[in-house]
Chains A and B, each alone.
Chain A
Amino acid sequence: MKTIGNGNPWLIRGFILLVFLGGWHLLTLRSSFEAKGKTDEQLQMMEFNGDIVRTGEGGYAWNPEKMKGVPGPLAVMEKARTELGEAFVIKGTNDHGIAYLVLYTVSRFAAGFLAASVVAILIGILLGLNRVLFRAVNPFIQILKPISPLAWMPLLLYTVKDPKWTAILVVFMAAVWPTLATTAFGVSSLKKEYLHVAAILQLSWFKRLCRVILPGAAPTIVNGLRISFGSALVAVVPAEMLLGELGVGYLSWIEWNNLDIAGVIFAILVVGVVGVILDSGFNKLAGLVTYQE
């Protein structure tokens, strides 16, 4: 029997990309300006509005500075080229190069995510080891868990009074619940025998934590971290948009304010690329701590 699934996926991948870009290009293509059927008055008005410009030959053409509709792939590529060319340039307080914006977003994300992970794992272990405590606290977690992290933002902004910290705290709120819930679950469903061995060997609580509980629950904890990771990544972009904090999310918003749609699309792509890079880095780390039974 012939199996489907062998062969090189790059061919299909390239084909899909080509079809997508081609379709995008064709759909956003604009026919050149046709002056026929328009009165001089209308043409003057359009020129005055900046919709069209005079060409060297005395005719008219669409004003390339005032784009209408969705920009095509070439325009986005052009935008990307200029943005990447100025990646390390700081033009003003709010006009930093894309490399800086990525750095701001990643560090904001990392701070919120790491803080949330540490807090969630510690509390999760505590809850996982103590069934009564877990049952007592669980309803609160269940209420807090489904709240969108952005819903906290006004309250956080009001209490900490600083958008920088608010953005980090929004990421924190997005990342803390999944890890907390899964860590508690992972620790409480740890095989009893492992704890029995630890008890017989009279391991200190610290050794018990580091040699038995944490590594034993690691695969489950990593699953929780993975969910938190995605949730934090989703939260960081709108947090930047709403708070006006420099970052890739901010970039997307500021380009929208500039009516630079190519810039918006470029920002979206940057968010995607940053996400992929962070995710693969996370998977590498996760592979180090998981084990097979």
Chain B
Amino acid sequence: MSFLVVDHVSKFFPGHAGSGEVCIFKDVTLKVEKGEFVTVIGHSGCGKSTLLNIIAGLETLSEGGVILNGREVSGPGLDRMVVFQNFALMPWMTVFENIALAVRSAYPDWGHKEVVAHVHKYIALVGLKGAEDKRPIALSGGMKQRVGLARAFSIEPKVLLLDEPFAQIDALTRGVIQEELVQMWNATRNTVFMVTHDVDEAILLSDRIMLMTNGPSSHVAEIVDVTIPRPRSRDTVIEHPHYYKIRNHVIHFLVRHAAHGVASERGTQGELSEAAPLVVRF
């Protein structure tokens, strides 16, 4: 059995007029192996963030189940830490306090010295030495998300959940932090589930990319294997012959789904929506 299994999960929201339910996504099944980096790409509203929140235990699912390491997920927990799109740092706490809050919760038996050493280690890892006593207001977007990453990595969760982590960071900084994330991941080999809009980001970081159709009633239509060997970096990854093949394939998928929408998409590849997702491998 895979390390993390999302098993036939569906999510319904109550409809606007109180009549009936709106299906966000239907019958989503995915298996993530230990140490694997899996990314979900889809248009806004396809429910990918909802799926991430369900894995995190922050939202309930309507049908199906999520199984982590052989146990069903029933609520939020320290084994699944989220890196939030808008950072979710407590603005009344310093960088150190934000991370220490997480570390103390994850390791309640640790003494003061151990906590301090652990926090400093992760602050150094994301290159924020010297900013320990700053509050989030004094940090740039990129620095804030470095704190978010340090906080997430510091509690050494079984699964890291990245919810469009670089969406609010300027393009130049984004590349730098992506590279840092690659290095952190290489060092820890965490299991990561990421949600993003950014195709290049997905190819750089992921082992597999799941493509979701548009909502409502979206589903995972294709799974693209990123057949580019690791270690990767931003300048070498684009040299690989598979890079643009993968990139073009993903973008074609996204454009096709933006242009058509649900009804016509059903007409052209309706049989696919019921079947298992297509595995694409270059």
Contacts and interface: CB of A to CB of B under 8 A. Distances in A.
A194 B86 CA distance: 11
Nearest to B80: A200
Interface string B53-64: 000111000000
A191 interface: yes
A200 B76 contact: yes
B43 interface: no
B34 interface: no
Contact of A201 (B57, B58, B75, B102): B102
B56 A292 contact: no
B78 A194 contact: no
Contact of B90 (A199, A200, A215): A215
A200 B92 contact: no
Given A191-B88, A215-B90, A216-B90, A200 B135 contact: no
Contacts of B56: 196, 200
B135 A291 contact: yes
A69 B56 CA distance: 77
Contact of B92 (A196, A199, A216): A216
Contact of B78 (A193, A200, A291): A200
Contacts of B101: 201, 203, 211
Which of A200, A202, A212, A215 is most buried by chain B, counting CB atoms within 10 A of its CB?
A200
A65 interface: no
A293 interface: yes
B93 to A, nearest CB: 8
B135 A193 contact: no
Q: Would you call the interface of chain B mostly helix, strand, loop, or mixed?
A: loop
A216 B89 CA distance: 11
A218 interface: yes
Contacts of B155: 201
B105 A212 contact: no
Interface string A209-222: 00110011010000
Contacts of A216: 90, 92
A196 B137 contact: no
Contacts of B75: 199
Contacts of A147: none
Interface string B128-146: 0000000111000000000
Size bracket of the A interface: 10 to 19
Contacts of B202: none
A215 B92 contact: yes
Contact of B82 (A200, A212, A215, A293): A200
Residue of B58, B81, B102 with most chain A CB atoms under a 10 A cut-off: B58
Contacts of B106: 201
Contacts of A215: 90, 92-93
A213 to B, nearest CB: 11
A223 to B, nearest CB: 16
A70 interface: no
B149 to A, nearest CB: 14
Interface in A29-72: none
Given A203-B105, A216-B92, A293 B76 contact: no
A292 B136 CA distance: 9
A28 to B, nearest CB: 53
Interface of B: 56-58, 75-78, 80-82, 84, 86, 88, 90-93, 101-102, 105-106, 135-137, 155
- 3 shortest interchain CB distances as A-B pairs: A193-B88, A201-B105, A291-B92
